[in-house]
Amino acid sequence: MGSRQRESAGPALLSPDRLRGDLPSSSAARRAGSWERRLSMGLGLGVVPETIQADLVQALGTVGVEAEFLLALLRDFPLGGTSGRERGAAFLAQLGAWARRVVAAGNGLEAATQGYLAALEAAFRGLRAAAYGGGVWWPELPSLLLPGDRTELWLRRCGYAYRHVVAAHLASQIDALTEHLATLLQALHTLPPAGTLPVPALYQGLDELTVTLQGYLIPQQLLKADRQVPGLLAGLARLRELDSRDDRSLASDIAWAQAQYAQARAVTLASSPRIGRRPAAGLMATSGALREWQGVIASLEALAASAAR
């Protein structure tokens, strides 16, 4: 049910070129300069051939721009409460195009990172063992929370059924993507100049960024074809399928949400004689689910009331 959230003001669907340096980072990183300059300075080790450095700067830069693009796209949609099928369709189309670009960018990053790390290993004997299990250069990023409505409600306002978006698992995929891509941007914004960072930390950090993208985000969050828990691209296809053949009215969504609440309440009541023996965490989870469904129903009914005015 829950999903990543965003602000409701700003320019419409943006191009990657307009997003460089647009997202929040630490003030210290901003004072030191943009992450594009940090890449060139931070990767410029004399032991690595310049062509290999340039390849990694370009590959990380491409991924960084795409990370900024996604976060800005989520932050700025829909604008000031605007709605409509055309806006929703444009958002979904850009989301799908972004995912396909990232798959290609991930392949380029993997090749460039392998070349750079191989050059480091050739220059520093035992580097891989020294870097294994070590720390990275960027500070931990607090959980990302972009204020505003949940993904399902954004698209509900655009005429897409709330329950269809839930079935497509778009919210959970967006949550995972935003968290990890915000961390990637944190890494780019805080990369120290070459020579000031221990080489094992640089090695470990570059390896972690690439493995996270190629080993987790792309195969699990973008390309996974599981119908029960699809990746983003399969989820978008699932949403299009449901949208083309099922009732997408607001009344049908409200009836569905009420049925989900009734089912959750029935489970709670059935287990109430054993409440004294249930773990506190279980009780909290049950109560939380009921409150969340109540919130969903209230939000959908508010949309219906607004549309009726």
For the chain, the domains span 16-245, 250-308
Q: Give CA separation, 213 vs 137, 149, 217, in Å.
A: 17, 27, 5
> Residue 275: how many CB atoms within 10 A of its CB?
11
Cα–Cα nearest to 177, from 146, 153, 138, 139: 146
Average of pLDDT values for 62-88? 84
pLDDT above 90 as % of the chain: 65
Phi then psi for residue 64, to 5 deg, are: -65, -45
3-class DSSP state of 169: coil
Quick one: pLDDT at residue 152? 93
Answer for the pair 257, 290: CB distance below 8 angstroms, yes or no.
Answer: no
Copy the structure tokens of residue 223. 């390309």
Quick one: pLDDT at residue 271? 67
- Angle, CA 256 vertex, CA 265 and CA 296 arms, to 5°: 70
**Integer Cα distance of 65 and 167 in angstroms:** 30
Q: Does residue 296 or residue 30 have the better pLDDT?
A: 296
Chain Cα centroid distance, residue 303: 26
**Integer Cα distance of 105 and 265 in angstroms:** 46
pLDDT in tens, 114-152: 999 999 999 999 999 999 888 999 998 776 555 556 789
Quick one: pLDDT at residue 32? 36
Asked whether residue 298 carries a pLDDT value surpassing 60, the answer given is yes
Q: Give CA separation, 184 vs 89, 139, 207, in Å.
A: 28, 11, 12
| Locus of tokens 């029935």 | 266
Average of pLDDT values for 21-34? 39
Average of pLDDT values for 32-50? 88
> Residue 95: how many CB atoms within 10 A of its CB?
21
Average confidence score pLDDT of the chain: 84
